Amino acid sequence: MDETTQMLKELTDANGIPGNEKEARDVMKKHISPYADDVTTDHLGSLIAKKTGKAGGPKVMVTGHLDEIGFMITQIDDNGFLKFQTVGGWWSQVMLAQRVNVMTSRGNITGVIGSKPPHILTAEQRKKAVEIKDMFIDIGASSKEEAESFGVKPGDSVAPICDFTIMNNEKLMMAKAWDNRIGCAIAIEAMKRLQNEDHPNELYGVGAVQEEVGLRGAKTSASKIEPDIGFAVDVGIAGDTPGVTENDAKAEIGKGPQILVYDRSMVSHKGLREFVTATADKHGIPYQFDAMSGGATDAGSIHLTGEGVPSLAVTVPTRYIHTHAAILHKDDFEHAVQLFVEIIKGLDADKVNEITYDS
């Protein structure tokens, strides 16, 4: 496994539920620190790595989010089963019978999300999706006291289990937390490739916390950085699986990163969007356009910082987001990194002023 693939494995295997991102943050810090001049955090825990190309130049913020969707323990019943609250957006049909890690102060405990077996449901009940409130986590405890003796308590985070896997088509990679460790990986890799390159700005690679519960870490980290240009790097919806029409989602994995023209949190900045697509065209980097009326990215918080920050979301098309196991294409990661390297090299003060005031 090469160095970059090992980084992707470590990032996605790490657990980081909103409000408990330390494990993922430590991995990102390990991989980005060799290429940064300074690594700090804001008061919510977002990681901020700074690399100065030109001191006093425009501040360019490239943000992935550290957190992944997961759960939180709310109570332990008398028989040792755990009730939980979703943290981030889940669809109940993808949850049952899935393995999870309960993150206790004593270490992780493996469990499985359970419910009544179909054999004892009526025909009518079997037609309906099981409601999340009727699910529970089984950790093999026989009583509340035994579960507590394992170290479990309300408030503990719960992360999905899916080890990083390179598929038979070695370009395809499956993992539990592409949303959004791939954005963090792109920020790391872009900073790495700029290590010996001139760039006319101050680059900030950010691993934001609590994106899945309201774009929170991007707001606090942007307040600390005060960027001139902001990018959110996230996953996007791949429309290349059975049952998905072009009206649902147009992008295909392997065809390049997605330029998000619109989402629920932001209308993309026209001048920045045109600069990015022109940069991609100049360097022969493939890309796809997308719009997402039902979701949001950290750009929604970044662009409202101070007097306003020209911002854009660039995403990597990904199958099965917001489930235990998602799949993306390594070429899309590579092309996204190439794109950001060229974008950053082109964002001097004159270009930033043009984008900000002439578009």
- Please indicate, yes or no, if residue 336 is contained in any of the structural domains: yes
Answer yes or no: do 183 and 289 share one domain. Answer: yes
Tokens found for residue 120: 């004892």
Q: Is the pLDDT of residue 57 over 80?
A: yes
Please compute the mean of the pLDDT values over residues 222-242 and round it to a whole number. 97
**Band (44; pLDDT cuts 50, 70, 90):** very high
Q: Is 283 annotated as contributing to ligand binding?
A: no
- Please indicate, yes or no, if residue 203 is contained in any of the structural domains: yes
- Please indicate, yes or no, if residue 165 is contained in any of the structural domains: no
Residue 131 DSSP label: P
- Please indicate, yes or no, if residue 278 is contained in any of the structural domains: yes
358 C-beta neighbours (distance < 10 Å), count: 7
Q: Is the pLDDT of residue 293 over 90?
A: no
Please compute the mean of the pLDDT values over residues 90-110 and round it to a whole number. 96
Answer yes or no: do 52 and 185 share one domain. Answer: yes
Domain end call among 160, 194, 216: 160
Rounded distance between C-alpha atoms, residue 271 and residue 68, angstroms: 31
**Model confidence pLDDT, tens digit, residues 187-215:** 999 999 999 999 999 999 999 999 999 99
- Please indicate, yes or no, if residue 169 is contained in any of the structural domains: no
Do residues 49 and 110 make contact, with C-beta atoms less than 8 angstroms apart?
no
- Please indicate, yes or no, if residue 21 is contained in any of the structural domains: yes
Strand pairing partners for 327? Answer: 174, 319
Rounded distance between C-alpha atoms, residue 18 and residue 27, angstroms: 16
Answer yes or no: do 347 and 246 share one domain. Answer: yes
Give the number of residues written for the chain: 359
CA distances from 273 to 229, 235, 260, 313 (A): 11, 18, 9, 9
For 294, phi then psi, to 5°, come to: -105, 10
Rounded distance between C-alpha atoms, residue 39 and residue 51, angstroms: 9
Answer yes or no: do 82 and 187 share one domain. Answer: no
Cis bond leading into 180, ω under 30°? yes
Q: Is 281 annotated as contributing to ligand binding?
A: no
Q: Is 324 annotated as contributing to ligand binding?
A: no
The mean of the pLDDT values for the chain is 96
Q: Is the pLDDT of residue 253 over 90?
A: yes
**Model confidence pLDDT, tens digit, residues 160-191:** 999 999 999 999 999 999 999 999 999 999 99
Q: Is the pLDDT of residue 135 over 80?
A: yes
What pLDDT does 246 receive?
A: 81
Domain count, the chain: 2
**Residue 338 sits in a domain of what CATH number?**
3.40.630.10
Please compute the mean of the pLDDT values over residues 319-325 and round it to a whole number. 97
32 C-beta neighbours (distance < 10 Å), count: 24
Answer yes or no: do 285 and 326 share one domain. Answer: yes
Answer yes or no: do 312 and 207 share one domain. Answer: yes
Please compute the mean of the pLDDT values over residues 83-112 and round it to a whole number. 96
- Of 27-36, 161-170, 241-250, 280-289, the poorest mean pLDDT is in 241-250
Beta strands in the chain (DSSP E): 38-41, 47-52, 59-65, 70-76, 82-87, 99-104, 107-114, 136-138, 157-160, 165-166, 172-175, 202-208, 229-237, 258-263, 266-267, 288-292, 311-318, 326-329
Q: Among 10, 68, 202, 211, which one carries the catalytic annotation? A: 211
Q: Is the pLDDT of residue 359 over 80?
A: no
Answer yes or no: do 63 and 108 share one domain. Answer: no
Q: Is 2 annotated as contributing to ligand binding?
A: no
Domain end call among 160, 193, 211: 160
Answer yes or no: do 255 and 331 share one domain. Answer: yes
Domain end call among 108, 130, 160: 160
Hey, CA dihedral for 220, 15, 177, 97, is it positive or negative? negative
- With a pLDDT cut of 90, the percent of the chain lying above it is 91
How many angstroms separate the most distant Cα atoms in the chain? Answer: 69
Answer yes or no: do 242 and 346 share one domain. Answer: yes
**Model confidence pLDDT, tens digit, residues 24-40:** 999 999 999 999 999 99
Three-state DSSP class for 265?
A: coil
Answer yes or no: do 199 and 264 share one domain. Answer: yes
Answer yes or no: do 127 and 39 share one domain. Answer: no
Domain that holds residue 102: 70-160
86 C-beta neighbours (distance < 10 Å), count: 17
**Band (121; pLDDT cuts 50, 70, 90):** confident
**Band (105; pLDDT cuts 50, 70, 90):** very high
Do residues 328 and 240 make contact, with C-beta atoms less than 8 angstroms apart?
no
How many CA within 13 A on the CB side of residue 53?
25
How many CA within 13 A on the CB side of residue 173?
27
- Please indicate, yes or no, if residue 335 is contained in any of the structural domains: yes
Q: Is 119 annotated as contributing to ligand binding?
A: no
For 346, phi then psi, to 5°, come to: -95, -5
Q: Is the pLDDT of residue 1 over 90?
A: no
Rounded distance between C-alpha atoms, residue 265 and residue 336, angstroms: 22
Q: Is 211 marked active-site? A: yes
Residue 280 DSSP label: H
- With a pLDDT cut of 70, the percent of the chain lying above it is 100
- Please indicate, yes or no, if residue 167 is contained in any of the structural domains: no
**Residue 108 sits in a domain of what CATH number?**
2.40.30.40
Answer yes or no: do 265 and 243 share one domain. Answer: yes
